Amino acid sequence: VGFQKILTLTYVDKLIDDVHKEFRDKYRNEFQQKGALGLLNGTFDFKDDFMRLLRDAEDSSKVRAPTVMKTFEQSSKSQKTVKCMIETRGEKPKEKVKNKKNKGSKKDGTEAVAAPSKASAADKQLSAAGDKEELTKDEILQKNREEFFRRHMKAGEKSRSPKPDAQKEKGKKPRVWDLGNSNAKVLDYSNSATNGSAEACPVEEFDPDMALGDKNREPGRLYDLEYESEDEAEEEKVVQNPSKPSVKKGGLGGMFGMLKGLVGSKSLTRDDMDPVLEKMKDHLIAKNVAAEIAVQLCESVAKKLEGKVMGTFTTVTSTVKQALQEALVQILQPQRRVDMLRDVMDAQRHRRPYVVTFCGVNGVGKSTNLAKISFWLIENGFSVLIAACDTFRAGAVEQLRTHTRRLNALHPPESHGGRTMVQLYEKGYGKDAAGIAMEAISYARNQGFDVVLVDTAGRMQDNAPLMTALAKLIAVNAPDLVLFVGEALVGNEAVDQLVKFNKALADHSMAQTPRLIDGIVLTKFDTIDDKVGAAISMTYITSKPIVFVGTGQTYCDLRSLNAKAVVAALMKA
């Protein structure tokens, strides 16, 4: 009964009913006399009865009555007359008639619905009446059909279009992708690597330009994020040089026009700054800065400028804007800076692998940017072991396996003295992620890998069990660097994610000084234009640097953060 889904037994329900009735009838008197307590202490000799019932049930399931063929009198054909089976010229078969009626106009459709209903009613009456009455009604029905077809034959031929021929010509054709391969053997990767092994995947041949993108790049270099500011000329017009004030040729009138709105040698008050700060706050929120952080930034700028004596040819707007720019640049340049290459070389001197753990919510690009960082490390001469610790999401291991195959194709062992530069360590799905990470680090230490990149499953910051599992992975394996992967598309959500991730790591850690997030990887930066506020929100709330910025889909689309470029995009009108 417990394995009914695996082993289908047709007699199980009957057997349970028979056992229930047999047991009840046999021990009815004992049930009534002793009650429920007597059942617990009593003994029942029911084995022989059960085996007998089981044999009977099995025998009954084996014995099946042979299927009896219908006689001609029982078939529907015997109810038809010879007259109705004779096809006259111009008559269509019944199936085609129905299709034609369904494809006609509304009026034809109503008549077509009425005709089958009358025909069905007539057939029912024919089965009950005698032979003479059957022949009479059948002939009437036949004449009605012939008249109906004569009237609507011309209209049906006019409205009919050659659709069936077109459908036959079209058929179903397989879609051919531009970058695809029609050979099924080439596309079959099922036997490329055994699940659970750490062996290198076979090398795949493909176009390197498609994966690299920029051909003129310098290998191994991490370029800065660039942004061209378009309003530098406007700023120069607003902020004048005090030593050489520009005077228009129009005389005093032009000079007075230039001095309009300027503050001359007076200290700034909160009333002067409030209108400007309100506009600045709305501007920051429109640029995707979290609302709470935008308010705090404007408040800190107001406290810094309150009571400050301004220059003669300086406006309140330009002063507030300049102070806000300086504050934003300071936020994006935290005191602790992550130099990953230097830390990897330091770990090499101690003969141990440098371990990096990636964490974040679902769908932000952890695996994709892990592959980009792997490519960057390989181009700098470091060997990488990728630990597939996302044992939950379907296809996560296969995604990393494909990246490993592509990276090995770009950097084959022949180019590095026979050394495989990137390998994948995976144990399949449904396993303990912390245990897999520990095994991968041990394997990297024994095989001499320089860097271990640990990919984890995406999880929402409100999911307590998954956050506990992430804290366990980090506490047990003690990685050198914990990177939070966040997308540049979020606004207020960025603050909530980082605060709760840090809180979960602190709450569920077993150490006295819990390990928190060390740096940020900001992804999908190429999708936001100048709405770069997520960078400000993330660094402001954690005081941690943005180590990498993802700017595209190729392996070369990885940048380091340029604070001035981000602030220029943020302050753009």
Average pLDDT estimate for 246-275: 60
Residue 100 lies in a domain: no
Domain count, the chain: 2
- Edge-to-edge strands, sheet with 558-559: 422-425, 384-389, 451-456, 354-359, 481-487, 519-523, 546-550, 558-559
pLDDT at 117 over 90: no
Highest mean pLDDT among 201-210, 254-263, 400-409, 557-566: 400-409
State the Cα angle at 15 between 11 and 18, rounded to 5°.
Answer: 140
Average pLDDT estimate for 287-312: 88
pLDDT in tens, 320-332: 999 999 999 989 8
Range with the poorest average pLDDT among 12-21, 83-92, 264-273, 374-383: 83-92
Q: How many CA atoms lie within 13 A of 95 on its CB side?
A: 0
- Tell whether 353 and 443 lie within a shared domain: yes
- Tell whether 419 and 523 lie within a shared domain: yes
**Do residues 419 and 478 lie in contact, with contact meaning Cβ atoms separated by under 8 Å?**
no
State the Cα angle at 456 between 454 and 460, rounded to 5°.
Answer: 150
pLDDT at 450 over 80: yes
Q: How confident is the model at residue 251 (pLDDT cuts 50, 70, 90)?
A: very low
- Tell whether 282 and 362 lie within a shared domain: no
Range with the poorest average pLDDT among 168-182, 415-429, 457-471, 554-568: 168-182
Average pLDDT estimate for 83-104: 54
Q: How confident is the model at residue 482 (pLDDT cuts 50, 70, 90)?
A: very high
Average pLDDT estimate for 202-220: 61
Q: What is the pLDDT of residue 40?
A: 67
Residue 497 lies in a domain: yes
Q: What is the pLDDT of residue 145?
A: 77
Range of the domain at 311: 267-332
By the 10 Å C-beta count (0-12 exposed, 13-18 middle, 19+ buried), 467 is classed as buried
Q: What is the pLDDT of residue 39?
A: 66
- Tell whether 319 and 346 lie within a shared domain: no
Average pLDDT estimate for 423-445: 93
pLDDT at 477 over 70: yes
Q: Tell which residue, 360, 534, 549, 524, has the closest CA to residue 458.
A: 360
Query: Distance of CA 422 to CAs 383, 405, 554, Å?
Result: 6, 9, 17
Length of the chain, in residues: 573
* Residue that wins the pLDDT comparison between 449 and 182: 449
Q: What is the pLDDT of residue 73?
A: 75
Q: Where are the beta strands (DSSP E) in 332-460?
A: 354-359, 384-389, 422-425, 451-456
Q: What is the pLDDT of residue 263?
A: 46
Q: What is the DSSP pairing of strand 558-559 with strand 546-550?
A: antiparallel
- Tell whether 273 and 382 lie within a shared domain: no
Q: Give the tokens for residue 258.
A: 């230039």
Q: Tell which residue, 555, 189, 183, has the closest CA to residue 402.
A: 189
CA distance 380 to 268: 52
pLDDT in tens, 527-569: 888 888 999 999 998 888 999 999 888 998 899 988 888 998 8
- Tell whether 356 and 311 lie within a shared domain: no
- Tell whether 406 and 468 lie within a shared domain: yes
- Tell whether 416 and 310 lie within a shared domain: no
- Tell whether 550 and 439 lie within a shared domain: yes
- Tell whether 534 and 565 lie within a shared domain: yes
Q: How confident is the model at residue 380 (pLDDT cuts 50, 70, 90)?
A: very high
Residue 547 lies in a domain: yes
CA distance 127 to 118: 14
Among 287, 316, 332, identify where a domain stops.
332
Average pLDDT estimate for 396-424: 92
Q: What is the pLDDT of residue 209?
A: 58
**What is the dihedral sign for C-alpha 260, 262, 266, 269?**
positive
- Tell whether 414 and 506 lie within a shared domain: yes
* Residue that wins the pLDDT comparison between 38 and 150: 150
Mean pLDDT estimate for the chain: 76
pLDDT at 138 over 90: no
Residue 492 lies in a domain: yes
Residue 239 lies in a domain: no
CA distance 237 to 251: 19
Residue 96 lies in a domain: no
Residue 135 lies in a domain: no
pLDDT at 52 over 80: yes
Residue 398 lies in a domain: yes
- Tell whether 393 and 526 lie within a shared domain: yes
Q: Which residues contact 446 (CB under 8 A, 6 or more apart)?
A: none
Among 332, 354, 385, identify where a domain stops.
332
Q: What is the 3-state secondary structure (H, E, C) of 160-205?
A: CCCHHHHHHHHCCCCCCCCCCCCCHHHHCCCCCCCCCCCCCCCCCC
* Residue that wins the pLDDT comparison between 518 and 258: 518
3-state SS, residue 502? helix
Range with the poorest average pLDDT among 25-39, 115-129, 553-567: 115-129
Average pLDDT estimate for 487-500: 85
pLDDT in tens, 58-92: 887 776 555 667 777 777 777 777 666 666 665 55
Query: What is the CATH classification number for the domain harbouring 488?
Result: 3.40.50.300
